[in-house]
Chain A
Amino acid sequence: MTVLDARDGIAPDLVAVATTRSSEARKRLTSPWASLAALVIAVLWTIPTFGLFLSSLRPERQVQRTGWWTFFANPHVTFENYGEVLFGGSQPLAGYFVNSILITLPSVVIPIVLATLAAYGFAWTTFPFRDTLFVAIFALQIVPLQVALLPLLEIFVGAGLNGTFWTVWMAHSTFALPLAIFLLHNSMRDIPAELVEAARVDGAGHVRIFTTIMLPLLKPAIAAYAVFQFLWVWNDLLVALVFAGGTSDVAPLTVRVAELAGTRNSDWHLLSAGAFVSILVPLVVFLSLQRYFVRGLLAGSVKG
């Protein structure tokens, strides 16, 4: 049995769907104390985000002088903070937002395509040392990416690629491969061999089988991994800092927002708005693709 099976077995729809097995016996801990405890945790977990979000909508003077909880006594809502961080100043966040998108798209697509190809090679073709190689790739998941950063930077500088998107794309793609190959390989092995045999009898080559049988059947697995990789890349700071941190030309949102937290650490009207600009996209992805998101997260819990 494989790791993916385990995660697949427990993963689907965890957040959204509460099982409907209704049974009086299963009702438990419904005492008021239990509800209160749950409520306390839920409030503790939500308040910090809520406070910063509310602050991002308050006028600068109020953010600087009073706590966000005074908002309810004196409600003023403004979008000026967002206007200022996105378009104001010498280094507006809008540019970094574009960079984040430009970094993320290829960093998701490239590893998925390469990993799907490789996964097919390992699952449905035979060649010498196939299993040894696969185990080696599986083992590579252990390597923390810190171990590769310094020499990889040397390689990029040597190749004259430093300060371009290429470095970040290649770094993210490489680091994603071991997990992606492993997960997609597992899903591919689950496809019935009779299906592949039947296609072969009909004269289909590997490419036909790959494109007409494997890809359509693998859609859920690919989607789950894509969502995970998307959030990983969008939220990443370390890789971006090392390979794209030096220049506003290629640096993504996380780098700039972290920089703001260091240099303008008392301008909370800007910091709060900036933080939410960077949070917005993953949040939308989370809310709309929750199902896949959870599966991807569970699958990738050990990454990196």
Chain B
Amino acid sequence: MTLLDKILQLLVAVAVFAAVLGVVLFVADRARGRRGALVQSLAFVAPAILLLLVGLIYPALRTAYQSVFDANSANFVGLANYARIFSQPDLLLVLRNTFLWVVLTPVLATAIGLVYAVLVDRTRFEALAKALIFLPMAISFVGASIIWKFVYEYRPNQQNIQQVGLVNQFLVWLGFEPVNLILQQPWNNLLLIVVMIWIEAGFAMTLLSAAIKAIPNDMIEAARLDGAGGFRLFFSITLPSIRPAVVVVVTAISIAVLKVFDIVRTMTGGQFGTSVVANEFYSQSFRLSDLGIGSSLAMILFLLVVPIVIYNVRQMRKVDAR
């Protein structure tokens, strides 16, 4: 495709879209009489609802249906796909890794974000300090993965070969042998998790910092007058006051972590025992073309996310009501 073709495709899309929009607004404007009101309402909501039906609701139902069929969606197999995911060793490893991710990332990212938010709160360099931690959120997961791959880079320990990765250079400086970090099972999972923590800590810091600033001044002053120091203040005033915000942050990060795919795929491709559910879903569905297992993994992801989202929304309302 030449550049001209591409731009042409864009222009056609713009034209089609503008035409749809024109019709909608025209209908909404002209509809009169007994059914007029209904027609007007439908003109506003119908395009979105139509797109959701075709692009999200039907496909989701179809995935649920395919998850109880075999690899080619030909024969009904009941829950055999799910049974396989929970019994086959390499798929069990995927579940274990996902569990590691979901337990470690939200807790560590939130803890680091919270500590940092408290440390820089009301200091002279607060704005800059926050921007530094927040910056990784603007970087794509792919970009972040490459940044960290470089940190973990390994060169064999031979004469005249210098390390170019920071971690291994530190090992050499400290007198150790360099290690091919990304191959060290099961520890390599932690190296990948670090990338996600690096990204999400900024998110946690931003939300929690806002919550900290919302704590009433007199409360802190009173505690100060009673002689509370830094740590005391943190544990008996700050932390209890922002508890709901902490819960929101932890759950929001958990949801993001469950769906993490880009980091695993870019850093290891799911090799060396690092695959997670979202990555395995991609491999099974699009590389191995196993629609049954792929759909089942997608459904498992869905089932894991639902309770966290519900809890998150309920907590958010609590934060709200305050």
A interface vs B, CB < 8 Å? 1-3, 5-6, 9-11, 14-19, 21, 23, 25-31, 34-35, 37-38, 41-42, 45-49, 51-52, 55, 63-69, 98-99, 102, 105-106, 109-110, 113-115, 117-118, 120-122, 125-128, 130, 133, 137, 140-144, 146-152, 154-155, 164-166, 169-171, 173-175, 177-178, 181, 205-207, 210, 231, 234-238, 241-242, 249-250, 254, 257-258, 261-262, 265, 268, 271-272, 274-276, 278-279, 282-283, 285-286, 290, 293-294, 297-298, 301-302, 304
B79 at the interface (CB under 8 A from A): no
Question: B101-127 interface mask toward A, CB cutoff 8 Å, 1 = contact, 0 = none?
Answer: 000000000001001101111110011
Residues of B within 8 A of A150 (CB): 59, 62-63, 66, 285, 291, 294-295, 298
Bound: A231/B199 CA distance, A: 14
Query: B interface, how many residues as a size bin?
Result: 35 or more
Which of B38, B203, B291 sits near A127, CB closer than 8 Å?
Answer: B38
The answer to whether A177 and B52 have CB atoms under 8 Å apart is yes
Tell me, yes or no, whether B183 is within 8 Å of chain A by CB. Answer: no
Tell me whether A55 and B150 are in contact (CB under 8 A). Answer: yes
Q: Are B138 and A231 in contact (CB under 8 A)?
A: yes
A191 to chain B, nearest CB (A): 16
- In the bound complex, what is the Cα–Cα distance between A105 and B164 (angstroms)? 38
Pick the residue among B44, B142, B305, B309 that contacts A258 (CB under 8 A).
B142
Give the A-B contact count at a CB cut-off of 8 A: 370
Bound state CA distance, A84 and B301, in angstroms? Answer: 40
Contact A144 B259 (CB under 8 A): yes
Closest to A22 in B: B122
- Kindly list chain B residues whose C-beta atoms are within 8 Å of the C-beta of A205: 28-29, 40
**Is there a chain A Cβ closer than 8 Å to B83's Cβ?**
no
Contacting pair B52 A140 (CB below 8 A): yes
B319 surroundings in chain A (CB, below 8 A): 6
Residue B273 at the A interface, CB < 8 A? Answer: no
C-alpha spacing A106/B15, complex, angstroms: 12
**Chain B residues, Cβ within 8 Å of A27:** 122
Q: In the complex the two chains form, is A207's CB within 8 Å of B28's CB?
A: yes
28 contacts between A and B (CB under 8 A): A9-B320, A10-B211, A10-B245, A45-B198, A46-B132, A52-B146, A67-B163, A105-B10, A118-B49, A121-B41, A125-B40, A144-B301, A149-B59, A150-B66, A155-B54, A178-B56, A235-B143, A241-B282, A241-B286, A242-B282, A249-B1, A254-B140, A258-B145, A261-B266, A279-B140, A286-B137, A286-B138, A302-B252
